[in-house]
Structure 1
């Protein structure tokens, strides 16, 4: 009953999960993960002992955690949280119904399901961007070494006849997810002691960095010598071929690790998770736990549906009516974003203007407003945008300003982000904050927390990102206050 309730409650999430894995080349390996888990469980079926089955009330803790994450993820529009909540709920239901002693042989295939869950955007980008820089800098060094003229800015590579951008496919994160998932299975079957298994999994990182740096080098050489072979089918085929090279390297390193370790002693083997049986309550307590679990799951489903009934909040005045003169600053330019960028941002309305003071100092003002925030249309932090266009972060701080926000002469103290970046010889100072439902917030996680809270209590999730940027100036912060 608990498993059926879980599947019914999560069926929409599961369908979108499968669709996203099919559509996203970064996580297409995730479609194979459940089948790999099923195979491993089938391979270990001889270790199943019906006599160890006993309902386990503490499993309700995982069910409750899963329900809580379901609520948070559903309101915040965070797919990772919702999907991970499914795994927690699944594990909790199995523990509640069967008990830990019966499930012990299947611990690994159940945990392995984690590799089918795509990482959240914030974490994915924080891993992917450094990998882009490592791969691009390594490739730039080698291309310089062999005499290819090249210049690098962030993840942009400038060649004599074109500019190459190191995207996720070439950064290593795409193949890292797949190679890491494979390395865990290889480690499980090839090695019996824990240190060899860990070492085999860690080998995935240098293997991926090597193969993806090599891919960029080959693309750079082709771009200079044979430009027509640097893109399209040949570039994709080159990526698939180098992925197979990475798999071969991983297997080779695993064989070396196995041979170098010498013979295993019986006490080092960890093929079985040994230890005393965990006491599991029988009778009324176990039956009660199995009855409560579906109620907990359905409660999470109900709370999420109630909280998600937020009403879009339109602006009382359009952003286009924003003043063209603010103090000493006068508007001198206004830009429109390309449709592709707007689709990614998901904003309902925005302005992007340049203001100049009497001394000629220019500040760019961006305001992006969301009538309601939901999956696919949520505020993006500037920290995820600037580095991808070649700007390297130098410093990030939270500063406190006293501003007359309402124009009444009464100053309010607010905290905003100060972000210093550099591209070549140019330096840029960026100030930004989240302005949502009467609050000015610097931290994106705090803003997300209040969005969840207000969705439940106030049925609102509207919000805006305000960003002011300009060249580094000794009085830059004071000029931002004036603007």
Structure 2
């Protein structure tokens, strides 16, 4: 299965949601097993706020007719029920995987298209600056690179958007390998954003240099697929190295006898 295919991308996203949900449910269960899942007045108040938000989303969905309102209503209602029965901490744990499953998965195509242009624009700007530093005469207009009288448009296929879901899944698994607190794991995961931009810029940098040598052939076939694989490897490598910048969980020392 090709890593950039639609089926592979959707499967990676579903696996990511499933992994996050299993982890969140495990935290909810372990928290309840520890006897600290009592619901207080704040939890009940927040649950009513969430349920009211769900009703408002249903009303707005009836008025405007966009399916995203139904998704927001289902998400808020689910969080409200969990908050009422298990507390706001449990609702917070499942909020992100439920949001991804209810609101991101059904609209993944639209979201990928929306993310594609910022990725292309940032990577184009960065790669052109680096090429200028090494003496290559190059300029750009938005996402089009001008090189020695030739114009190379950075399309969706060159933006790395097709590998994004696979990268997110690999990043989620990689972050779990580092023993640290949940907050630091979240920060580590979000360091994926600069890693993606840097890896994409390096890919475009290599593409432009190869384009000068072999022409349009670098934009299709094995060259194009190989550069896409290089981007994934670089991105994961950057994320792995970033992991050493965050503190790991300290294990209590055994008392000396």
Q: Tell me, yes or no, whether TM beats 0.5.
A: yes
Distance (whole Å) between structure 2 residues aligned to residue 211 and residue 241 of structure 1: 8
* Aligned position for 1:62: 50
Check the 8 A contact 1:183/1:200 in 2, yes or no. no
Match of 2:221 in 1: 232
Give me the TM-score of the superposition, normalised by structure 1: 0.40
**Of 4, 18, 22, the match for 1:39:** 22
CA distance in 1, matches of 2:72, 2:222: 36
Structure showing greater Rg:
1
Partner Cα distance (2:70, 2:155) in 1: 27
Matches of residues 8-27 of structure 1 in structure 2 within 5 Å? 23=6
Runs (5+) with no aligned partner, structure 2: 253-257
- Shift of residue 108, structure 1, vs aligned partner: 2.1
- Asked whether the 8 Å contact 2:21–2:97 carries over to 1, the reply is no
The answer as to whether partners of 1:26 and 1:169 remain within 8 angstroms in 2 is: no
What TM-score comes out, normalization by structure 2 length? 0.69
| Matched residue, 1:137 | 125
Q: In 2, are the aligned partners of 1:80 and 1:120 still within 8 Å (CA)?
A: no
Distance change >3 Å, CA 122–CA 204, structure 1 → 2? closer
Unaligned runs of 5+ in 1: 1-21, 266-483
Equivalent residues in 2 for 1:139-158 (5 A)? 139-158=127-146
Q: Distance in 2 between matches of 1:106 and 1:57?
A: 12
Which of 97, 100, 104 is the aligned partner of 1:112? 97
**Separation in 2 of the partners of 1:37 and 1:138?**
32
Residues 179 and 247, structure 1, Cα contact 8 Å, conserved in 2 = yes
Greater helix proportion:
2
**CA root-mean-square deviation:** 4.1
Mapped pair 1:191 → 2:180: yes
Offset at residue 156 of structure 1 (A): 0.9
User: Compared with structure 1, are the counterparts of its residues 229 and 166 closer, same or farther at alpha carbon in structure 2 (3 Å cutoff)?
Assistant: closer
Q: Distance in 2 between matches of 1:66 and 1:178?
A: 32
Which protein has the bigger strand share? Answer: 1
Within-5 A mapping of 1:227-306: 227=215, 228-258=217-247, 263=250
Write the deviation string for residues 398-442 of structure 1: whole angstroms up to 9, x where unpaired.
Answer: xxxxxxxxxxxxxxxxxxxxxxxxxxxxxxxxxxxxxxxxxxxxx
* Structure 1 residue 234: Cα displacement: 3.2
